Structures are given as C-alpha cells and as structure tokens.
Amino acid sequence: MLENIQRTTAFIKNRIGDFEPEVGIILGTGLGGLVKDIEVEKQLLYSNIPDFPMSTLEFHSGKLIFGTLAGKKVVAMQGRLHYYEGYSMKQITFPVRIMKMLGIKTLLVSNASGSLNPVIRKGDLMVIDDHINLQPDNPLIGTNYEELGPRFTDMSQPYSLPLIEKALDIAIQNNITCHKGVYVAVTGPNLETKAEYRYLRLIGGDAVGMSTVPEVIVANHMGLRVFAISVITDEGFSETLKPLLLDEILAVAHEAEPKMTLILKELIAGLNA
C-alpha cells in the first residue's frame, strides 16, 4: 500500500505543481454542488490517476478538484466510493490517505442519510458527533504502517468538538435547522426494513447511511481533524415507512444542499492551521 500511496501522490503533485491543499472535502450523494463555489485551479479525473478507484455511480462525477474556497486551498472529492460498489475498505479510504500526503490538515465529509430520530426530519441537516459502525470490515485491518498512523487508533473523539460547535453556531446565525447526532454506517445498497430501522434507533442511532465511517476511521488514523455533516433525505420511521425512490432522495439532497454548503464555507473560512 505504501508504494501505491507514494506513486499516486507523486503523480498528483506532478500535475498540480506547488499547490498544497489545507482542507480535504468529500462530497456525498447529490451534494457535489459545492464545487461551483471553488475557484478551480486543477481538475483530475479519478480514471486518470494511478491506483485511484473510480466511482461506479452515475450520479457521482469522479473528479479531484483543486482550488480555493473561502480563502483556503482545498481538494474536493466530487464523487465518493462505497463498500457496496464492491471496493475493499482500503480502496474506499485510499483517497483520504492521498489527501493527507498532499498536505491537508482537516477533512470535511458530507453524506445523504435517513433519519432514525423523529425530531430530525427530511430536509434537515445533522452534524455528526459520534458514530456506530455496522459495516463488516475495517480499513485498518492488516499490516499497519507506522508512517501512516498507530496500530491501535483512538476513537474516543473521532469528530472535532470545536468544529461541531462552530458549525452549530453558524446554523443558528443563518436560521438553518441543524441537529447534532449519531450516524450509523451500514453496507447498503438496499434500504432498511421496518425492523432494522427500529433496531438502529434502539442502539442509539439518529441517522443511517452507507458511507463516511471508513473515511473517518482512516482520517483519525492519520491524525487529521475531522468534521462530518449529513443531509437528511428520508425518514426511517417504522410506523409510517413508505417505499422510497432514488430520485426522491436526490431531490431532497439538492434542495437542502445550499444550507450545507453555507455551513461548510463559513466553517472553512474560520479554520486555523
């Protein structure tokens, strides 16, 4: 893995020159619009980057975007990778390792997820302050390279408390409905049954999705400051559960995206090194 990381990092640095990003951004399902606010300097297709996995989803673009956002140099993944696409956890999290090697200090992650908490409704935002990992594999299993991080990574505070509080303040100042809660990661790609939604709520989940946690684990392994936010695109309340189509999820994500974008931009503007 170290050789792959070194080869990919060298390739990207050769393409972007002396550009060194401070912030990495992973954009979730239906949430790629933030790129419009980036003063783009370089764009690289995943398919053109050695050893870089390609998103197989038609609604994920598959580009690394380098540029300036809110006064900070950023690298954004427009299109993330998922376990249900058939990738290993190491492949899913490979881009996080590359962004770290390119120089980022902070990783911002977004996703679309379903509410488990009746207080949190479709169209709301939820800042993630903890998670429950129900995915069957872990990106840290196997040989550990001390150059990347410790064998046993502490996860007592996987998400930055100062960034959480700042994001919630930004939401209040802008009259945005934004909650704080626990994200449960499952494999997908199927949505949950009524019984599964009840179970996920019972064990302490506020929202459920199919991403984010592997990336957060690796970010913590590499010593990055992490912030994550969910756009709530549907409601997994077993008593009122109805069939759901992907188009509905994407429509809600697009509608709520400007609120998320505002929070991320102001959060980035206030970041210190």
**What would the pLDDT profile of 154-192 be if each residue is shown by its tens digit?**
999 999 999 999 999 999 999 999 999 999 999 999 999
Mean pLDDT value of segment 111-134? 97
Nearest to 93 by CA among 31, 140, 147: 140
pLDDT band at 95 (very low <50, low <70, confident <90, very high): very high
Mean pLDDT value of segment 51-73? 83
Coil, helix or strand for 163?
Answer: helix
Coil, helix or strand for 227?
Answer: strand
Least confident of 28-32, 88-92, 250-254: 28-32
According to the model, what pLDDT value does residue 121 have? 97
pLDDT band at 61 (very low <50, low <70, confident <90, very high): low
HEC string of 89-151?
A: HHHHHHHHHHHHHHCCCEEEEEEEEEECCCCCCCCCEEEEEEEEECCCCCCCCCCCCCCCCCC
DSSP-derived letter for residue 7 is H
Q: In angstroms, rounded to a whole number, what is the distance separating the alpha carbons of residues 110 and 86?
A: 21
**What would the pLDDT profile of 215-262 be if each residue is shown by its tens digit?**
999 999 999 999 999 999 999 998 899 898 888 988 999 999 999 999
Paired strand residues for 255? none
Token pair in block for residue 216: 């957060």
Token pair in block for residue 255: 């509608």
Q: How many CB atoms lie within 10 A of CB 263?
A: 25
Cα separation of the two ends of the chain: 28
Q: In angstroms, rounded to a whole number, what is the distance separating the alpha carbons of residues 51 and 232?
A: 33
CATH code of the domain occupying 2-269: 3.40.50.1580
Per the listing, tokens 């080869």 go with 7
Tell me if 46 sits within 8 A of 91, measured CB to CB.
no
Least confident of 38-52, 59-73, 86-100, 254-268: 59-73
pLDDT band at 57 (very low <50, low <70, confident <90, very high): low
| 179-123-117 Cα angle (round to 5) | 50
Nearest to 168 by CA among 263, 255, 268, 270: 263
Mean confidence (pLDDT) of the chain: 94
Tell me if 8 sits within 8 A of 51, measured CB to CB.
yes
**What would the pLDDT profile of 201-227 be if each residue is shown by its tens digit?**
999 999 999 999 999 999 999 999 999
Token pair in block for residue 7: 């080869």
Who's near 270: CB < 8 A, 6+ residues apart?
166
Using the predicted structure, report yes or no on whether residue 83 has a pLDDT greater than 80.
yes
Q: In angstroms, rounded to a whole number, what is the distance separating the alpha carbons of residues 123 and 165?
A: 21
Give yes or no for a cis peptide into 189 (omega within 30° of 0).
yes
| pTM of the shown model | 0.95
Q: In angstroms, rounded to a whole number, what is the distance separating the alpha carbons of residues 31 and 260?
A: 9
Q: In angstroms, rounded to a whole number, what is the distance separating the alpha carbons of residues 183 and 211?
A: 10
